Amino acid sequence: MPIYNAPNKDTQFILHEVLNISGSDIPGYSELEPEFTGAVLEEAGKIATNVLHPLNVVGDTEGCRLENGVVYTPTGFKDGFAQMKEGGWTGLDMPEEYGGQNMPYVLGTAVGELFSASNQAFTMYQGLTHGAASAILAHGTEEQKNTYLPNMVSCEWTGTMNLTEPHCGTDLGLMRTKAEPQTDGSYKISGQKIFISAGEHDMADNIIHLVLAKIVGGPEGIKGVSLFIVPKYHVNEDGSLGERNGATVGNIEEKMGIHGNSTCVMNYDEATGYLLGEEHKGMRAMFTMMNEARLGVAMQGLAQADAAYQNAVEYAKDRLQGRAVTGTENPDGPADPLIVHPDIRRSLMDQKSFAEGARAFVLWGATMIDKAHRSGDKDADGLISLLTPVLKGFLTDEGYDMTVKAQQVYGGHGYIEEWGMSQYTRDARIAMIYEGANGVQALDLVGRKLAQDGGKHVMAFFEMVKTFCKENAGQNEAYDKAFIEPLKAASKDLQSAGMYFMQEGVKNPNNALSGSNDFMHMFGHVCLGLMWAQMAKAAQETLDGGTSDKEFYEAKINTGRFYMARRLPATALHLARIQTGANTVMALEAASF
């Protein structure tokens, strides 16, 4: 049975010593004092460790079951969900008028990591609900908001997002689900949607489906797509539940992982739907919360990596195998623990330096979303829009790799389901795919975000890195050498890649797009390099000021030194690849593959 401990000490360090959130002028941030966030994280950590984590293996082993149109969730999920609702966790960052607690998104994200790490499949039920509720909040009429939000904020009702159809995923313009206008202003929705997470289950009284469909007679392609609210049960005027709507589950998918979440084929058979937002502006309505949703998936990459890492550390300390090459370290035992071996260390340091760096990156991203939403800051909105594909693509690709590394520490036991390490990799795998496959993230970054607003946001990013380096160089030689210099070099690589895209992409866009995956990864490394430079600086300041917890801060600096020395130089390889352009990538005829 795997372990899970909420990494709250690290989260608190990032929130308060690195991001200094309670000192920020973002509305709502002044309340986020260390004592307060500490208390919230502690309670959330208890739920994660005591309620969600024990259900993680159960969910994986049992999976969901479809019988006569009813989906049964794994044993214990219903009780666990009730505890989440009782604790008010489902509406932490939702408006008070609908029953939420109106906390900033950054706190929701910090808490969300604990839930996702302890049970990703379970946490998706409320995660999808949060996404659907956010779309209604942004685009719904007063009546729609009043009808749906209170029950969605409390998760008495859950929500879903219906985009994909069997023949189209990324290219939603091809969709066939249609909406026929009715005289009463509603629509009849007909079509099939697939990969609908939490599409049907037994944990809520009602399910509010948000469904993309084309209004009959509307424009062709993506410009004719609208968004509809399709409740599983009709809602009467008094708020009570009425008849069943024509939205039914056709099947649940057998998947590689996240077995505890029901992934449904949903059939809409003249189901009554209500337009959400404007006609033919469905993509905009669906994607309003895209930055948030994608940051949420980025957080899942971090969460699974950290949970797997925690177990790898335990095993490496516990399992006795071989002797340290530099001399026996456990003379009373039959062998030394795995953790003495340099290659095991290398793997654990890869994992640790990723998880802590990623946590900072995700929380920093969440503050930008708050700044954009709560302060209406356009620059923050532009920057997070630029960084969203980096967060999602880089952290889920790397997060998956880290779960594979954690599994590898276990040797043969990593391959056996009994030890639980296989589940981390199988669950983490989905985050590279959903909410826009990572190849699409890279395309979004290079094909769209780089040039957005005339390249203003990427220039601002480089300026920010430059300013940071300038302001913090020249005070501590060791710090300059370990942090500032590698960050400068990596940032320069990234700029060179951007320059290459500008120059060569004009000649042939494939020269840019062939390097999109590399660019996304090098951008991610630069961001983590920046996070580490900031964290090391904060840690050094605390050490210089005197602390009773030297070990934590010294480990922080040493972990950062590892990242800068061993991981960040990957930018040079990505740049070298990018600069070869489309030439070798596009050379073959399709028939030659």
Residue 146 or residue 328: which is nearer to a copy of itself going by CB?
A: 328
Tell the smallest beta-carbon distance from residue 125 to a copy of itself (Å): 18
Residues from 291 through 350 that contact a copy of itself (CB under 8 A): 313, 316-317, 320-322, 325-326, 334-335, 337, 339, 341-349
Tokens (6 digits) for 134: 């956010």
Residues from 375 through 404 that contact a copy of itself (CB under 8 A): 400, 404
Q: Which of 3, 39, 256, 459 binds a copy of itself (CB under 8 A)?
A: 256
Tell the smallest beta-carbon distance from residue 589 to a copy of itself (Å): 7
Q: How many residues bind a copy of itself (CB under 8 A)?
A: 98
Q: Candidates 27-35, 224-232, 253-261, 541-549 — which segment interacts with a copy of itself by CB under 8 A? A: 253-261
514, 581 contact by CB (below 8 A)? yes
Using CB under 8 A as the binding rule, whether residue 477 contacts a copy of itself is answered as no
Tell the smallest beta-carbon distance from residue 496 to a copy of itself (Å): 15
Q: For residues 300 and 294, what is the distance between their CA atoms, to the nearest angstrom?
A: 10
Q: Candidates 101-109, 151-159, 364-372, 411-419 — which segment interacts with a copy of itself by CB under 8 A? A: 411-419
Residues from 541 through 580 that contact a copy of itself (CB under 8 A): 551-552, 554-555, 558-559, 561-562, 565-566, 569-570, 572-573, 576-577, 580
Residues from 32 through 71 that contact a copy of itself (CB under 8 A): none
Q: What is the CA radius of gyration of the chain?
A: 24
Residues from 491 through 530 that contact a copy of itself (CB under 8 A): 508-510, 513-514, 516-517
Residue 233 or residue 287: which is nearer to a copy of itself going by CB?
A: 287
Residues from 106 through 165 that contact a copy of itself (CB under 8 A): 164
Cα–Cα distances (Å) from 568 to 399, 483, 498, 573, 574, in that order, read: 16, 10, 18, 10, 11
Residues from 180 through 199 that contact a copy of itself (CB under 8 A): 194-195
Q: For residues 313 and 317, what is the distance between their CA atoms, to the nearest angstrom?
A: 6
Residues in CB range of 65: below 8 A, 6 or more apart: 71, 72
Tell the smallest beta-carbon distance from residue 20 to a copy of itself (Å): 24
Q: For residues 108 and 460, what is the distance between their CA atoms, to the nearest angstrom?
A: 27
Phi/psi region, residue 474 (left: phi>0; alpha: psi -120 to 50; beta: rest), is: left
Cα–Cα distances (Å) from 98 to 55, 109, 181, 375, 481, in that order, read: 29, 20, 30, 21, 52
Tell the smallest beta-carbon distance from residue 219 to a copy of itself (Å): 15
Residues in CB range of 537: below 8 A, 6 or more apart: 472, 479, 483
Which entry of 435, 463, 471, 541 is annotated as an active-site residue? 435
Cα–Cα distances (Å) from 543 to 380, 467, 528, 538, 550, in that order, read: 31, 24, 22, 9, 7
Q: Candidates 17-25, 29-37, 200-208, 585-593 — which segment interacts with a copy of itself by CB under 8 A? A: 585-593
Element (H, E) at 266: strand 263-275
11, 113 contact by CB (below 8 A)? yes
Residue 43 or residue 485: which is nearer to a copy of itself going by CB?
A: 485
Tell the smallest beta-carbon distance from residue 431 to a copy of itself (Å): 10
Q: For residues 256 and 403, what is the distance between their CA atoms, to the nearest angstrom?
A: 15
Q: For residues 352 and 316, what is the distance between their CA atoms, to the nearest angstrom?
A: 13
Active site residue 356: no
Residue 93 or residue 356: which is nearer to a copy of itself going by CB?
A: 356
**Quick check: helix, strand or coil at residue 179?**
strand
Give the contact letters, 415-454, x = binds to a copy of itself (CB under 8 A), - = no.
Answer: xxxx---x--xx--xx-xxx--xxx--xx---x-------
Tell the smallest beta-carbon distance from residue 138 to a copy of itself (Å): 25
* Catalytic residue list: 435
